[in-house]
Structure 1
């Protein structure tokens, strides 16, 4: 393997042998490493080696080589040379010697370069070569290596060679240059050739080398026939690959432009419509999977392209450039490549994995080209998936969002922000229903709505707030020091929306309950901050001391309590100076906010209001107490914009169930894909008017479609019921029974008849209900029940009674549900509901003879029972 190798080719009949040629022709045999002898061999992959069997250096100026395609024990080569001769040669003594084939020369009349040579795959005695142009001579010569006519035949040639030299059996391409040629796999006398840099010609040698078809193109190089489809050809020129269909030969069916000039292009014999190409100075192999290639003018063929980097290009600093490659004739996706400077590489192209995820969360992908693997939604691996589709389906099964108590839905969400939002919806509705926050059509007003900052009631200054400034003393430390706070009726209502009810006179019990709940949850730092914000310093110190005895945290609560106990409002005190220096070292955001409040200068509370670790409701409540009207309006506006842009559901506290709230939910949907929560929050919180917004309807339709795709009919119905109850709309009739012959509605006819006859007609009498066995319009018989074989026709639906004794309209059933029509949506067979239900308690197949439809297995109840989560 010391000689440079420029070309490589697998033998089509000796599956483990291949040849390489450049200045000499070498024969190799590939073997597995475990089966190889520890002799002279070269490793060509992680699993295979190549043994050099023989070398043939008798031929110089080799331009093209082809291997004899018949399964003989020895290898016979046809070598095309620079002088135009085609020489038959072997690697030593073989059975071909006795046939007189070894060393046989097939020479043209005039010397010129041989550009292509190809054995016929069906008639192995035939070989064709393609030559450069020579005045009036032919450039395509067909030879019969066993039976070639001599000069004594009728055909004569000027300047004829000696009488014992073989002559071609047919010729074509007068005064043309043949660049490439290829045989058709199913026709022993037909081939395609690229000639003159301007044409592809299909030639049939059965009729004096007749040109069957031709097309103008410059893509005349490396033409070859698709081994899996005889109608498809490939050729190239420069950096452009063209795919042809011989049935529509006027123009290529597909053109594939490449970034670099093409070196070689080959069809893969083991993969349908797969092309491999090498590009100049490119270390990668380019693959083109041709899709829907050519079947008329209406088709739109295309190609899936990808590149692979075999072992010859391990690192950018050690790239090897491939000069040629050859697909293995039978091993799937296996190829050999010649590279410089590494040599021969044996490589298998791995199949592209195609993954599909069904609406019911079944994951499927192709495996080894012959099988599929899949994971069902019941597989344990789904427990590790943090995917919104999996969570949505899991929540839907437990009626998330549909429970009557709003706060209960938050427990099913498995998300703190969703949990807080559902709890806030419960709180806001309670405040509205109790009359604490009066409102007309919004049961979930936000803080900005309560403060009249939502843009509907603002004056020219942007606000109608008129708050009272009061100086409130610290309540439990016996100090004369006071703090400035702002109070108004609207601020008090907004504080309650934030969950704060700190009014010492009337709600002391609630205050204690609120802080006790925070302590039970381990939120000692939050309880401390809220106590300090409400000027209850001693209470905050006691909370810290209790917390220090119960939990171990990174922050020593005893030390924090000690620091709080030295509180001083003196601006020049050492306590204030040390707290300003040390507060940034606190890890808990609530404790940082606490000391930021106690050390604030000139009512500047930015360090508290902008502390992102503090919950939004606590920051808003703090602003409601300590910011003036103008500062409060500006802060809430800025905070609303920031939370809406982030899709933070905590912003619902500010927007409430308004159009701004819809924008917030839509941003949350864009970031999370949680269309379920958006839809459920919409139907439980928005007013009927806002529910008609186009964006909200898109959420609802998407979620309903998702439930339908999962066959979760019961959850879909429950969702529709809750949605209708929120809009107070009467559900219109959705199902009608129409005649299979005339298409007219049977149920509409019966309802019209009942209205016309009134309460004393036939339909009004329970003992004389009208039954039909035929269509009332065309009189054609109605379908028979598959069980009882009686014509279905019992009236179903509702009848409106308006009688003298009962002036109020009342809807009464015409027919019990058991007598209604029912049928399979697949095979269309059915019958009375009671009969069909009884049948499928014991069977899964359709009751109609010869119908193999397994109706019951298609039903959602069966799917849920067999594939429940």
Structure 2
């Protein structure tokens, strides 16, 4: 097959058959791989194989082939040859033999190459051929195969029992004559039929124009446009107005309704050899380039703005069927979505599905939906097991919201629902800080949630100097020098916020015992060392080593305890030298910090303060104990900046949540930017922010976003409780009216008008006038009648909302008091059909009916109400629950 171009084509009416041709024509049938061992099949994909059914080698110099487009059990081919003949042939005896079609030859008057041949998709007895130029002949010939005389034996063109000379003279007399001839002295490069217009043909001619011809008047070209893109004409299967052609490295897309110029020109990197519209996808054009291993897909997107159609856009991509050789041809499957066949230069056939770009949508209810082909959507709901593997913040937030995260009465309870250690610590610290303020431990601090910065008055010049105390090691006697610590009233408050307020020996012991119970042996030992309790630290490490060995966890705590037991403050001791060289090899940060403290020189505690594995509250408490005022303030300022940049919630310990500073809001905003956890920052704002911070525009944006999220999740109960929290933080702010009844004619609020009347009459009532129950049946503004109740047909006249009734106070004077109007007289209506009436009447009606009470209305109002699907249950106490 060297030098011969290989072609492939799916049968348009046999979904499991295709042909290939070069010097010979092969018929294949596609079968699944499970049937392949039974047949002599060649693998064309991971799931399919091709079985060779038949071979036709009787025709040489094949230039073009088209398959008969009507559903028949057998395949009939029209073959265009180098001499201009169009021969009808099959792969052996078929039903077409009896019709006299097999072997029929359609011969032009003058021999020249046939460039294209095409069956009419509607009138399948018509076949068109496009030929090269001949000076006195036409280049487009249209035959009716049922009217052409037949000669030949069905395959070879030889009539048995008749001499060759007599046959030749007879065939010359009975030479098939085309029913239509077009293009005198012109060259036809390509042609194509329209799918719904059986007598219309588009032709690319003379390398300079396209002609759209109506064969009912073959002497007149309906439309013609000059262009060099006259090759490979194809009409869109889904749209007869859209067609495509190419020349060199340009593809032109045309609209026959505006044929002056192409609606789209697609420039390619290499010369184009073939273009085909996908029969299963709208506006998808496949293109093959010369010397390419890829099929290039062009998804044309048409956009309409108003009544005008703007210039289309194109989404381009390339698919690689997997062959290592250059592809010479491809063909779309007629019915299977985005499936195509390719054939390479080596003859390798590949069955390939060009999967679409997946558009993934993640709904607020945590459902992942994506497209899988044109007709299928795939869904993963939040009940699927794959969600157990997701660590996405949206999944966490919804799970927390369902568990009433942030709505628990005690702040620390919300921390236990957070599923995050940093959030848990923050909620617990907020509870501690608020408790300390409420029990009077933070006197002199003007904040309900003060931070270390506020307590130590770092930004104030009125700070009190700290007292320097030399404190001995309690269990080492006089063999070790005294350690210098700093004390002041503000530092004591700061230590309380850090949880390090140990007034008595028993309080330190209980704190360390609690850490041991939690398994934090290293932290407990380090805090004991920082409080100059070396023997207690050694005992903690020994107990930790025993506990971890029982749990079959390898531990070196007993070795660390042994190292601690040799502590010496001698600057030149071997113990100190070995600790300095070996400290970095410890895996536990608290143990590294403890040895850094024991080996520090000249109160240089940077290795302790900069140990990131140590909790922020422990580092701050250490700094408040062992650093001078200047060093302490400098360290805390740097730490605030660092924690804010990192979005570390532990920084709230330092910044606090004071109305005079936005540092806490900035830190939470940074945390939100890094995690997307709008839920936590909104709930924190609602629960603990002072009014000044709550009114910040950024904070209001958090709250609005979380409200929208709760609505999207349909967590109406949680949304209502969240709004209650917000209103509790601003009890003096009256929420704006959101629902009111307005007149259909003038648009004025009936309830607002009525309340005004009530207030005015209430003034007269206080002067002794008697206020009768106010009713109305028309709009107070325009006097138009109010709607009638659909049940009693009486104008609805009692407004919903507040009614003003007379009462007598203790002094005997008449006073006005407000109470809600009875629910039975409230306005109520269907949100769909807008019919309604008095609430009592509508409730009674829908106990027995589901459709609207208005005779001419077919709305089933009750079925539209989600509340109607909730069954009511009478409890033992007689109360009704849902």
Question: How far has the Cα of 1:118 moved from its partner?
Answer: 0.8
1:367-406 equivalence runs, <5 A: 370=375, 372-378=377-383, 382-406=387-411
Give the 3-state SS of the residue equivalent to 1:604 in structure 2.
Answer: coil
**Structure 1: runs of 5 or more not aligned:** 150-160, 314-318
Give the 3-state SS of the residue equivalent to 2:499 in structure 1.
Answer: coil
Distance in 1 (CA, whole Å) between partners of 2:850 and 2:594 is: 68
Question: How far has the Cα of 1:120 moved from its partner?
Answer: 1.2
Per the alignment, residue 471 of structure 1 pairs with 470
1:422-437 equivalence runs, <5 A: 422-437=427-442
1:275 aligns with 2:285: yes
State the Cα deviation string for residues 135-169 of structure 1 (Å, max 9, x = none): 676443323334469xxxxxxxxxxx976544433
1:671 aligns with 2:678: no
Per the alignment, residue 528 of structure 1 pairs with 525
Question: Taking structure 1 as reference, are residues 434 and 74 closer, same or farther at Cα in structure 2, changes over 3 Å only?
Answer: closer
Per the alignment, residue 338 of structure 1 pairs with 343
Per the alignment, residue 734 of structure 2 pairs with 730
1:232-247 equivalence runs, <5 A: 232-247=242-257
**Counterpart among 784, 795, 802 of residue 799 in structure 2:** 795
1:187-206 equivalence runs, <5 A: 187-206=197-216
1:221 aligns with 2:231: yes
Contact 1:757 1:763 in 2 (8 A): no
State the Cα deviation string for residues 266-307 of structure 1 (Å, max 9, x = none): 222234444333333433334444444789733564455554
Question: How far has the Cα of 1:835 moved from its partner?
Answer: 5.2
Per the alignment, residue 572 of structure 1 pairs with 572
1:776 aligns with 2:771: no
Contact 2:77 2:90 in 1 (8 A): yes
- Which shifted more, 522-531 or 622-631? 622-631
Distance in 2 (CA, whole Å) between partners of 1:24 and 1:220 is: 28
Question: Taking structure 1 as reference, are residues 602 and 680 closer, same or farther at Cα in structure 2, changes over 3 Å only?
Answer: same
Per the alignment, residue 159 of structure 2 pairs with none
Contact 2:325 2:346 in 1 (8 A): yes
Question: Taking structure 1 as reference, are residues 665 and 111 closer, same or farther at Cα in structure 2, changes over 3 Å only?
Answer: farther
Distance in 2 (CA, whole Å) between partners of 1:841 and 1:766 is: 40
Question: How far has the Cα of 1:238 moved from its partner?
Answer: 4.2
Question: Taking structure 1 as reference, are residues 91 and 717 closer, same or farther at Cα in structure 2, changes over 3 Å only?
Answer: closer
Distance in 1 (CA, whole Å) between partners of 2:794 and 2:197 is: 64
1:499 aligns with 2:499: yes
Distance in 2 (CA, whole Å) between partners of 1:585 and 1:204 is: 90
Question: How far has the Cα of 1:218 moved from its partner?
Answer: 4.3
Distance in 1 (CA, whole Å) between partners of 2:86 and 2:801 is: 90
**Counterpart among 856, 863, 866 of residue 859 in structure 1:** 866
Question: How far has the Cα of 1:604 moved from its partner?
Answer: 2.3
Question: How far has the Cα of 1:725 moved from its partner?
Answer: 1.9
Distance in 1 (CA, whole Å) between partners of 2:730 and 2:477 is: 56
Contact 1:441 1:687 in 2 (8 A): no
1:408 aligns with 2:408: no
Contact 1:447 1:497 in 2 (8 A): yes
Contact 1:770 1:795 in 2 (8 A): no
State the Cα deviation string for residues 16-37 of structure 1 (Å, max 9, x = none): 4322122232333334455568
Contact 2:765 2:814 in 1 (8 A): no
- Which shifted more, 298-307 or 258-267? 298-307
Give the 3-state SS of the residue equivalent to 2:233 in structure 1.
Answer: strand
TM-score (norm 2): 0.85
Question: Taking structure 1 as reference, are residues 433 and 776 closer, same or farther at Cα in structure 2, changes over 3 Å only?
Answer: same
Question: Taking structure 1 as reference, are residues 252 and 558 closer, same or farther at Cα in structure 2, changes over 3 Å only?
Answer: same
- Which shifted more, 813-822 or 599-608? 813-822
Give the 3-state SS of the residue equivalent to 2:309 in structure 1.
Answer: coil
- Which shifted more, 342-351 or 293-302? 293-302
Contact 1:42 1:50 in 2 (8 A): yes
Distance in 2 (CA, whole Å) between partners of 1:129 and 1:148 is: 15
Question: Taking structure 1 as reference, are residues 262 and 391 closer, same or farther at Cα in structure 2, changes over 3 Å only?
Answer: same
Contact 2:801 2:820 in 1 (8 A): yes
1:289-368 equivalence runs, <5 A: 289-292=299-302, 297-299=308-310, 301-310=312-321, 312-313=322-323, 319-341=324-346, 343-350=348-355, 354-366=359-371
Question: How far has the Cα of 1:580 moved from its partner?
Answer: 2.2
Contact 1:77 1:89 in 2 (8 A): yes
Question: How far has the Cα of 1:769 moved from its partner?
Answer: 1.9
Question: Taking structure 1 as reference, are residues 704 and 48 closer, same or farther at Cα in structure 2, changes over 3 Å only?
Answer: closer
Per the alignment, residue 640 of structure 1 pairs with 640
Question: How far has the Cα of 1:814 moved from its partner?
Answer: 4.6
Give the 3-state SS of the residue equivalent to 1:484 in structure 2.
Answer: strand
TM-score (norm 1): 0.86
Give the 3-state SS of the residue equivalent to 2:27 in structure 1.
Answer: strand
Question: How far has the Cα of 1:659 moved from its partner?
Answer: 1.6
Question: How far has the Cα of 1:705 moved from its partner?
Answer: 0.8
Per the alignment, residue 584 of structure 2 pairs with 584
Distance in 1 (CA, whole Å) between partners of 2:672 and 2:102 is: 77
Question: Taking structure 1 as reference, are residues 755 and 38 closer, same or farther at Cα in structure 2, changes over 3 Å only?
Answer: closer
Distance in 2 (CA, whole Å) between partners of 1:293 and 1:62 is: 43
Question: How far has the Cα of 1:338 moved from its partner?
Answer: 0.7
State the Cα deviation string for residues 492-547 of structure 1 (Å, max 9, x = none): 32222222213x4xx54543443333233222221221121122223323333443
- Which shifted more, 605-614 or 539-548? 539-548
1:526-675 equivalence runs, <5 A: 526-552=523-549, 553-657=553-657, 658-675=661-678
**Structure 2: runs of 5 or more not aligned:** 150-170, 873-882
Question: How far has the Cα of 1:189 moved from its partner?
Answer: 1.2
Question: How far has the Cα of 1:426 moved from its partner?
Answer: 1.5
Per the alignment, residue 284 of structure 1 pairs with 294
RMSD between aligned residues: 3.8
Question: How far has the Cα of 1:574 moved from its partner?
Answer: 2.0
State the Cα deviation string for residues 164-197 of structure 1 (Å, max 9, x = none): 5444333334555433221011122101223344
Question: Taking structure 1 as reference, are residues 440 and 259 closer, same or farther at Cα in structure 2, changes over 3 Å only?
Answer: farther
Contact 1:758 1:764 in 2 (8 A): no
Per the alignment, residue 757 of structure 1 pairs with 761
Distance in 1 (CA, whole Å) between partners of 2:792 and 2:538 is: 82
Per the alignment, residue 153 of structure 1 pairs with none
Distance in 2 (CA, whole Å) between partners of 1:361 and 1:385 is: 11
Question: How far has the Cα of 1:86 moved from its partner?
Answer: 3.2
Question: Taking structure 1 as reference, are residues 550 and 344 closer, same or farther at Cα in structure 2, changes over 3 Å only?
Answer: closer
State the Cα deviation string for residues 604-644 of structure 1 (Å, max 9, x = none): 22221222211111112212222333433333233223322
Contact 2:411 2:427 in 1 (8 A): yes
Distance in 1 (CA, whole Å) between partners of 2:868 and 2:554 is: 53
1:419 aligns with 2:424: yes
Distance in 2 (CA, whole Å) between partners of 1:35 and 1:478 is: 91
State the Cα deviation string for residues 748-793 of structure 1 (Å, max 9, x = none): 1011111211255599999832122332233333334456554433
Question: Taking structure 1 as reference, are residues 655 and 39 closer, same or farther at Cα in structure 2, changes over 3 Å only?
Answer: closer
Distance in 2 (CA, whole Å) between partners of 1:172 and 1:764 is: 106
Distance in 2 (CA, whole Å) between partners of 1:383 and 1:784 is: 55
Distance in 2 (CA, whole Å) between partners of 1:547 and 1:758 is: 77
- Which shifted more, 53-62 or 527-536? 53-62
Contact 1:231 1:246 in 2 (8 A): yes
Per the alignment, residue 703 of structure 2 pairs with 700
Contact 1:762 1:768 in 2 (8 A): no
Per the alignment, residue 682 of structure 1 pairs with 685
Distance in 1 (CA, whole Å) between partners of 2:340 and 2:188 is: 28
Question: Taking structure 1 as reference, are residues 589 and 391 closer, same or farther at Cα in structure 2, changes over 3 Å only?
Answer: same
1:823 aligns with 2:829: yes
Per the alignment, residue 156 of structure 1 pairs with none
Give the 3-state SS of the residue equivalent to 1:19 in structure 2.
Answer: strand
